[in-house]
Structure 1
Amino acid sequence: MKVIILHGLYMHGMVMKPLSYKLSGMGYQTQVLTYNSLAIDEQRVFSDIDQALSLKEPNVLVGHSLGGLIIKHYLKARRPSVRKISHVVAIGSPLQGASIASRIEELGMGVILGNAPDFGLTEHEEEWDFVQKLGSIAGTLPIGARSILLQGDQKRSDGTVTVEETKIPGMTDHIEIYNSHTSLIYGSATLEQIHHFIQRSHFKH
């Protein structure tokens, strides 16, 4: 089984390499894709995913934060069969948008988000209506800019994205892990849950 991994906003594929190496050690074929998260070239990213897909075995798409939203847009455009892509794992992804991104736009600082809002970074309402099984992982260690930008907001979060923002109607399973938004991609619990979800189509609760 091949696992294709996408990073989040302001990141580079290098940050996902430790997760990729660990998944390789568990027997998966892995590939990390890098894209410009502030000037997202949809056709280029989609083409990169197309080319990364194994033709011999099922594929799994894993996305951190914005990466999960890119995957959602890819599935909407391509509508691949479950035989081609069986599972999607979103790590700290605001699957219906992030209030912190909406707040940044309210403050007149939307330019720092580039064109990421075009891919669902700001708040919206959608359902998961794809044949792929979706497992969504939320962080609950609130270390990040959220407390500064949304003072007085008591919603449970990973410091950037709230727990509720990682949920979407139609998802297969959801789990919370005590990590911050960025540390989620390095935690052993995240690795274990990704493996468990791929193998059993549900998390280890």
Structure 2
Amino acid sequence: MERATTDTTRKVLLIHGIWMPALSMRWMAARLAEAGFEPALHAYAGAAGGPDAALPGLAERLRDGPTHVLAHSLGGLMTLSALAAQPELPVRRVVCLGSPLCGSAAAGGLARHAWTAAALGRSAELLLRGCPPWRGRAEVAVIAGSTPRGLGRYFGDLGPDSDGTVAVAETRLDGLSDHAVIPASHTGLLFSAQAAQMAAAYFRHGRLRA
């Protein structure tokens, strides 16, 4: 693991999850603004569009750097996919909130039934396979939740530790520079003061617990 360094980048792009609107990231954006950052929200069609439709627009936003990224759930997989495809994008640090970077058991359960598979739309393949071990230029950290409240636990075996939608184990991608588990559900991560403080610390110092 490389030694963390202080970063003075102030721009942060916030990216939502599969069924959530961009406004779901507004609470986090307000906390980052209070901490001295310059947040902006990015919207994409999670289920309807899928990666093929979403990644070009995301890459275009990320070119307006240097920037950090705070991404929830599928947004984290989208971000790493964009950075893997275009490693020259000026992204310094990425914090993923409850992103199933190693693949999603809940998505696997949904995909097995025709009446629920449609909910994943064109993002199903990315959610099922996850991301390869991270070897990109940007530093990446994950904040996972351990409060199991969410519908995902009814569709997949999430094991003993999860946020109700994503298993903690599904967030532990090889190549991360930091990882933390906090008492929050999958949606609760979006409104966690602890998660906001950790994200700000990581953007500044490269550690979730500065």
Residue of structure 2 in register with 1:129 after alignment: 135
For 1:80 and 1:39, the matched residues in 2 are separated by 28
Return 5+ residue gaps in structure 1 as ranges.
none
1:162-192 per-position Cα deviation (integer Å, ceiling 9, x unaligned): 0000110111000001000001011100000
1:147-169 per-position Cα deviation (integer Å, ceiling 9, x unaligned): 32237x54310000000001101
State the one-letter code of the partner of 2:117.
G
Aligned pairs for 1:80-95 (under 5 A) are 80=88, 84-95=90-101
1:18 to 8, 27, 44: 27
Q: Note the C-alpha offset of 1:99.
A: 0.5
Return 5+ residue gaps in structure 2 as ranges.
1-9
For 2:54 and 2:171, the matched residues in 1 are separated by 26
Residue of structure 2 in register with 1:106 after alignment: 112
Change (3 A) 1:124 1:27: closer
User: Quick check: 2:108–2:128 contact (8 Å CA) kept in 1?
Assistant: yes
User: Quick check: 1:193–1:204 contact (8 Å CA) kept in 2?
Assistant: yes
State the one-letter code of the partner of 2:150.
G
Q: Note the C-alpha offset of 1:124.
A: 4.7
Report which stretch shifted further, 40-49 or 72-81: 40-49
Report which stretch shifted further, 161-170 or 123-132: 123-132
Cα RMSD after superposing both structures: 1.9
Does residue 75 of structure 2 align to residue 70 of structure 1? no
For 2:79 and 2:130, the matched residues in 1 are separated by 16
Q: Which structure carries more helix by proportion? A: 2
Residue of structure 1 in register with 2:37 after alignment: 28
Change (3 A) 1:30 1:198: same
User: Quick check: 1:31–1:52 contact (8 Å CA) kept in 2?
Assistant: no
Q: Note the C-alpha offset of 1:9.
A: 1.1
Residue of structure 1 in register with 2:182 after alignment: 177
Change (3 A) 1:141 1:173: same
Does residue 126 of structure 2 align to residue 116 of structure 1? no
Residue of structure 1 in register with 2:3 after alignment: none
The total of aligned residue pairs comes to 199
Residue of structure 2 in register with 1:155 after alignment: 160
Partner SS state of residue 30, structure 2: helix
Change (3 A) 1:184 1:105: same
For 1:125 and 1:131, the matched residues in 2 are separated by 15
Report which stretch shifted further, 188-197 or 32-41: 32-41
Residue of structure 1 in register with 2:209 after alignment: 204
